[in-house]
Amino acid sequence: MPGWTAILLAGSRPGGDPLTRSLGVDYKPLLPIKGEPMLLRPIRALLAAPSVGDILVMTQQPERLADVVPANARLILRRSDDTIAATLQALCADPSTSFPLLVTTADHALLRPEWVRQLINGASPESDVAIMLAERHTVQAALPGSRRTYLRFADGHWSGCNLFLLRGPPARVAVTEWTRVEADRKRPWRIVARLGPGLLLRYLAGRLTLASALDRLGRRIGCRIALVPAADGLAAVDVDKPADLADVQRLIGR
């Protein structure tokens, strides 16, 4: 069997999700896209990815998805913690977890097997963690006018793709740090400031690359982090806002 265990994060934010509430849906993975629950689309992409073995569907309310997740020996429905960080930290600490892990989310409705392949093949074998990010020009080329949140560095403006690799338990420290990065994703200078005044000055001067920042971050927390630039800008498109949903519906319909 292939060596990568996929983690599909299929829960809902504590307190609910504004998009789903506005559409009268009370659990985000069940948001309908083209007549079917949203989480079925990334499930199919993961099942079709040659490097993926078992797929753990992690959700706070497994009973809500029991009749939605297809019957398949590779699909395992499991209860998650309340937050993404707590869920991934628990998985990394669990001796029964089968590494390496590929992590993505149920709102990644456009997920394609080739993006999974690019991340796995593009990540350095020496890395503990790999993340896929899409540069702004790539996103705009794939979906003109798309509005995303970008981290601005000397080598481009980068948007997350909800695709991560965790090679082993050392990745736990990176999960903890990434939650802080996510909290400050609209204020990159605060992220860089935690790495020291020298890097902050380089960032403010427009001379700090994202790869350099990730390298310094990895050395500070004791975890090797690899950046894999997305070849397809659509990898950065998830379903988080009404405009995202409209874009995804249109692209799938096409």
Distance in angstroms (rounded) separating the CA atoms of residues 242 and 18? 10
Report CA 205 to chain centroid distance, whole Å. Answer: 29
What HEC string does 73-88 produce? CCEEEEECCCCHHHHH
pLDDT tens for 214-241 read: 888 888 888 999 999 999 999 999 998 9
Please report whether residue 251 resides in a domain: no
Q: What is the domain extent for residue 76?
A: 4-246
The tens digit of pLDDT for each residue in 129-176 reads 999 999 999 999 999 999 898 888 999 999 999 999 999 888 888 887
Using left for φ > 0, alpha for ψ between -120 and 50, and beta otherwise, residue 35 falls in: left
Please indicate, yes or no, if residue 95 is contained in any of the structural domains: yes
Domain count, the chain: 1
What angle do the packed helices 171-183 and 210-221 form, to 10 degrees? 130
| 116 in any annotated domain | yes
What pLDDT, on a 0 to 100 scale, did the predictor assign at position 21? Answer: 81
**Whole-number pLDDT of residue 1:** 44
CATH of the domain at 207: 3.90.550.10
Does residue 253 lie in a domain region?
no
Is there a domain that residue 122 lies in? Answer: yes
Q: Is residue 42 part of a domain?
A: yes
Residue 240 tokens read as 């988080």
Do the domain assignments include residue 252? no
| Cα separation of the two ends of the chain | 34
**Beta strands in the chain, from DSSP E residues, in sequence order:** 4-9, 32-33, 36-37, 52-59, 75-79, 101-105, 129-135, 151-153, 156-166, 225-229
